[in-house]
């Protein structure tokens, strides 16, 4: 197949107070991998929702294979040959692979026939799946395969992928890219959304850049530097964080043979996790989703209590203390899930600032909340971390993902923690916001705080951390200097490569030195 597959002409969509898409036009050719780039809030999500039938445009039109295309709902888009793999998986963990795929089909065949089809198609595209396995037992990469195979069974002509590599190891990314290239060669078009610009350069044929809801240009990513694309997205020069190690020989935190239960029926229990964290150090902990990151964050934050001596802040045992008592002592945490965990969606930014900052910012006096002080704290976060919002009275859910993430991280940093633990600090965040967050973490370490960054973004870990450890099936490898590692070695560690050294208890490692 050659020629234009889908043509977007003047699409416009406005919401109260903001124009999400302003007269956007571009086209995707048959058999093309087309990147859609832009900052958080640039209009990417709204645009693909219009293409997939989730949102109706206010103006403009689309053509699919030369005919008018205006899907009223996703079912109509799928019938026309448009499929989408969302950033957040929509799978039922207690059901099998085949059962999950059947739920996403209009007229699923008998289960045995569907299982055979899943096996054949998944093997043909290099993404092998066992249709009888329970989804809750699958790794993040395998769950993504379920979503992709569900789309491929519909024989799509256009496949939309939103941040598809955010939960994958480098080896799994290679497998995914081989599959996408095979689809491209077979004539399938792919609309690819990602903030990982080097991946865009490796995979995509064309890139359309959105800024402020408008199409500000196209480029050939294979011939365009990642920094140049990032600056097209933000409209200015991009600040690149500069790492300088400020680690001292003073122990800020000791974790000694930490063992915990799983936080959910399909979670991963921690198994004898041990490490020491130094003042001024940034320790990176990498792992593919589902290997114990949520459990580690819960154990560190105090949401899940453990043996008192399993976690020591300085020389003080704190494993038995809850979140507020740990915060008072200086150990703060920011979880991965922005809406619902790090922030209450329907509460204002002032109220969300109060929820976390009440203890260390003294926003409660004699049993009464000091709202004026809370508002000043929220305004300080907004100003210091360039959070794009009309004011602190806006609800958390009204912010774009990147702006809410800046607010959440800024809220914790401005409380001057002794130790800060963050999970996925720049997940789904554009290049400029990611650079700002990473610089803020580096600045915090420079001021003497100790920082733990739990992340699936290997570039991020390589960029800002002093030491790196891999979390696999609830076990932590011995931390190693990040400068001594390359991405390939880290990828193997994340996958639980044989011979991966597991960290000993801090007392043992200190004695050995």
Is the separation of the CB atoms in 101 and 153 below 8 Å?
yes
Q: What is the pTM (predicted TM-score) of this model?
A: 0.72
Is the separation of the CB atoms in 233 and 431 below 8 Å?
yes
User: Which one, of 382, 380, 307, 394, lies nearest residue 344 by Cα?
Assistant: 394
Which one has a higher pLDDT value, 185 or 427? 185
Kindly report the CATH class assigned to 4-234: alpha beta
CA dist 200 and 177 (Å) reads: 11
Task: For residue range 156-196, list pLDDT tens digits in order.
Answer: 999 999 888 876 767 778 888 999 999 999 999 999 998 88
As a whole number, the mean pLDDT across the chain is 89
- At residue 492 the predicted structure's pLDDT band, cuts being 50, 70 and 90, is confident
The end-to-end CA distance of the chain, in Å, is 64
Task: For residue range 247-290, list pLDDT tens digits in order.
Answer: 888 999 999 999 998 887 777 899 999 999 999 999 999 887 77
DSSP-derived letter for residue 420 is E
- The pLDDT value recorded for residue 453 is 97
Report the alpha-carbon angle 336-342-344, nearest 5: 140
Is the separation of the CB atoms in 479 and 274 below 8 Å?
no
User: Tokens at residue 245, please?
Assistant: 């190690």
For the cut 70, the answer to whether the pLDDT of residue 497 exceeds it is no
- The pLDDT value recorded for residue 508 is 41
Residue 55 CB neighbours (<10 A): 18
CATH 3.40.605.10 fits 251-512, yes or no: no
Which one has a higher pLDDT value, 167 or 236? 236
CA dist 6 and 71 (Å) reads: 13
Distances (CA, A) of 355 to 331, 348, 368, 404: 16, 11, 14, 15
Q: CATH 3.40.50.300 spans which residues of the chain? A: 4-234, 251-512
The DSSP H or E segment spanning 28 is strand 18-29
Distances (CA, A) of 93 to 30, 69, 96, 97, 133: 35, 35, 8, 9, 10
Q: What are phi and psi of 280, to 5 degrees?
A: 80, 5
Task: For residue range 8-57, list pLDDT tens digits in order.
Answer: 999 999 988 789 999 999 999 999 999 999 987 788 989 999 999 999 99
DSSP-derived letter for residue 480 is E
Residue 184 CB neighbours (<10 A): 19
- At residue 136 the predicted structure's pLDDT band, cuts being 50, 70 and 90, is confident
Q: What is the mean pLDDT of residues 357-366?
A: 91
Is the separation of the CB atoms in 189 and 30 below 8 Å?
yes
**% of residues, the chain, pLDDT over 90:** 62
For the cut 90, the answer to whether the pLDDT of residue 410 exceeds it is yes
- The pLDDT value recorded for residue 509 is 42
């Amino acid at each position: 197949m050659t020629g234009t597959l889908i043509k977007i002409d003047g699409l416009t969509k406005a919401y109260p107070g903001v124009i999400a898409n302003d007269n956007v036009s571009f086209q995707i050719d048959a058999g093309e991998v087309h990147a859609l780039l832009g900052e958080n809030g640039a209009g990417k999500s709204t645009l693909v929702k219009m293409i997939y039938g989730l949102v109706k445009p206010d103006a403009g039109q689309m053509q699919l294979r030369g005919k008018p295309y205006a899907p009223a709902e996703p079912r109509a888009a799928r019938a026309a040959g448009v499929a989408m793999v969302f950033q957040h998986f929509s799978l039922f963990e207690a059901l099998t692979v085949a059962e999950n795929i059947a739920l996403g089909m209009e007229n699923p065949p008998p289960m045995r026939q569907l299982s055979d089809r899943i096996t054949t198609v998944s093997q043909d595209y290099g993404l092998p799946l066992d249709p009888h396995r329970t989804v809750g037992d699958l790794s993040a990469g395998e769950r993504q395969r379920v979503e992709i195979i569900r789309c491929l069974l519909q024989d799509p002509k256009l496949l939309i992928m939103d941040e598809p590599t955010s939960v994958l190891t480098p080896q799994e990314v290679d497998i995914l890219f081989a599959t996408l290239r095979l689809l491209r060669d077979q004539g399938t078009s792919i609309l690819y959304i990602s903030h990982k610009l080097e991946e865009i350069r490796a995979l995509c044929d064309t890139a359309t850049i959105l800024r402020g809801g408008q199409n500000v240009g196209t480029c050939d990513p294979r011939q365009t530097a990642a920094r140049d694309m990032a600056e097209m997205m933000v409209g200015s020069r991009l600040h690149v964080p500069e790492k300088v190690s400020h680690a001292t020989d003073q122990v800020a935190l000791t974790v000694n043979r930490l063992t915990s239960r799983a936080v959910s029926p399909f979670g991963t229990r921690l198994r004898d996790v041990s490490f020491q964290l130094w003042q001024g150090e940034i320790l990176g902990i990498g792992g593919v989703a589902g290997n114990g990151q949520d459990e580690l964050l819960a154990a560190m934050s105090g949401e899940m209590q453990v043996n008192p001596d399993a976690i020591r802040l300085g020389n003080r045992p704190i494993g038995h203390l809850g979140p507020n008592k740990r915060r008072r002592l200086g150990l703060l945490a920011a979880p991965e899930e922005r809406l619902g965990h790090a922030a209450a969606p329907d509460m204002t930014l002032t109220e969300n600032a109060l929820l976390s900052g009440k203890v260390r910012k003294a926003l409660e006096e004699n049993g009464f909340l000091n709202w004026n002080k809370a508002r000043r704290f929220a305004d300080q976060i907004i100003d210091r971390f360039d959070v794009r919002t009309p004011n602190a009275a806006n609800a958390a859910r009204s912010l774009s993902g990147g702006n809410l993430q800046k607010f959440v991280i800024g809220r914790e940093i401005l409380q001057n923690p002794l130790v800060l633990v963050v999970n996925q600090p720049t997940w789904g965040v554009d290049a400029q916001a990611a650079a700002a967050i990473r610089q803020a973490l580096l600045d915090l370490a420079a001021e003497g705080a100790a920082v733990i960054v739990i992340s699936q973004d290997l570039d991020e870990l390589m960029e800002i951390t002093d030491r790196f450890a891999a979390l696999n099936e609830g076990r932590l490898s011995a931390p190693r200097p990040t400068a001594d590692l390359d991405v390939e070695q880290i990828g193997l560690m994340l996958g639980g490569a044989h011979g991966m050294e597991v960290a000993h208890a801090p007392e043992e490692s200190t004695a050995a030195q």
